[in-house]
Amino acid sequence: MSPITTACCAVTLNQQQQTHINHCKALADQDSVSLYKIKPKYCTIVENGRVVVKPIAQD
């Protein structure tokens, strides 16, 4: 891959990752209304080319 293509892919992945994180946080906010669900929330993201499962910070 050329450097331009690689940079474009990295930007696209970063945008998709941020969109996915925001989506996961929005789902966590919706679920926080239900007090009977007290299990931790997780979000699957791509980080440095690897799939990582991270807990979503509860505010």
Ranges under pLDDT 70 in the chain: 1-13, 28-39, 58-59
pLDDT of residue 7: 55
Domain assignment of residue 22, given as a range: 3-55
The answer for 41, left when phi > 0, alpha when psi is -120 to 50, beta otherwise, is: beta
* Collapsed DSSP state (helix, strand, coil) of residue 35: coil
Query: pTM here?
Result: 0.39
The domain tally of the chain equals: 1
Contacts (Cβ under 8 Å, ≥6 apart) of 23 = none
pLDDT of residue 13: 65
Contact 54, 42 (CB under 8 A): yes
